[in-house]
Amino acid sequence: MLFKDRFDAGQQLANQLKRFENDYPLILLVPRGGVEVGLETIRRYQLDWDFMIPRKIGAPHNKEIAIGAVTMDGNYLLYEEYINQIDVSSDYIQEQIQQEMMEIKRRLQKYRGSETFPPVMNQTVILIDDGIATGFTLLAAIKSIHAHAPKKLILAVPVAPTETIEAFRQFVDDIICLHSIDRFTSVGAYYESFPQVTEEQMKSYIDLLNKQQVIM
């Protein structure tokens, strides 16, 4: 195993992110796993933070299979080749986009009491998650952030497939990935402990962060 848990991964990631400390970056956390990973970077360097919530658009026959992803401002990406292959209707896609956006807004209201987009314009932004599998939802998040004109966008993850990291380099200014894996299996396979983060834990993490750093 590469990491004991997400907190261990976060400690290691924070060490690598020290180089950006003097840029006073805005940390964008991808709930829920990315919150546990990003806590140490925010605490150690006393940085401003916010949430970035992308959501997968699932296929009609199997919701676990991504045919696209949508973010909080309505930006979305579609896996056009697969959509055409399985003949998914545009009505279904639009319906799913609206449903997922409603869920994003519900979570934003619950986590931060506001649906506004994070203030990324002219900011150095570090996007943190607990790892990358296919990367589809994170790519949608990256597209969404770019639409709001950040000064610089850095992707920071503990582990990801090597080919995905290489493919992502064209979309961000820098990537910090502690371990890129050639024969990648799943994000959780590289953690000794990788439980789902509960809503109760999310509340405690938000309370902890709010005591030391206010969301911008």
Tell me the domains of the chain and their CATH numbers.
Answer: 6-54+114-211 (3.40.50.2020), 55-111 (3.30.1310)
Using pLDDT thresholds of 50, 70 and 90, give the confidence band for residue 4. very high
Q: Give the model's pLDDT for residue 64.
A: 83
Q: What is the Cα 69 distance to its own chain's centre?
A: 12
Least confident piece of the model among 13-17, 36-40, 190-194, 206-210: 206-210
Which residues face 125 on adjacent strands?
26, 153
pLDDT at 63 over 80: yes
Using pLDDT thresholds of 50, 70 and 90, give the confidence band for residue 1. confident
How does the average pLDDT of the chain come out, rounded?
Answer: 94
Using pLDDT thresholds of 50, 70 and 90, give the confidence band for residue 216. very low
Q: Give the model's pLDDT for residue 212.
A: 65
pLDDT digits (tens, 9 = 90+) for 87-140: 899 999 999 999 999 999 999 999 999 999 999 999 999 999 999 988 989 999
pLDDT digits (tens, 9 = 90+) for 139-170: 999 999 999 999 999 999 999 999 999 999 99
pLDDT at 215 over 60: no
pTM of the model: 0.94
Cis peptide bond N-terminal to 19, omega within 30: no
The tally of CA atoms less than 13 A away on the side-chain side of residue 170 is 4
Q: For residue 47, give the 3-state DSSP assignment.
A: coil
Query: Could you identify the residue written with the tokens 């649906």?
Result: 115
Using pLDDT thresholds of 50, 70 and 90, give the confidence band for residue 214. very low
Question: DSSP string covering 49-116, please?
Answer: EEE---EEEE-SS-TTSEEEEE-TTS-EEE-HHHHHHHT--HHHHHHHHHHHHHHHHHHHHHHHS--P
Q: How is residue 46 written in tokens?
A: 């006393």
- Contact status, residue 13 vs residue 37, Cβ threshold 8 Å: yes
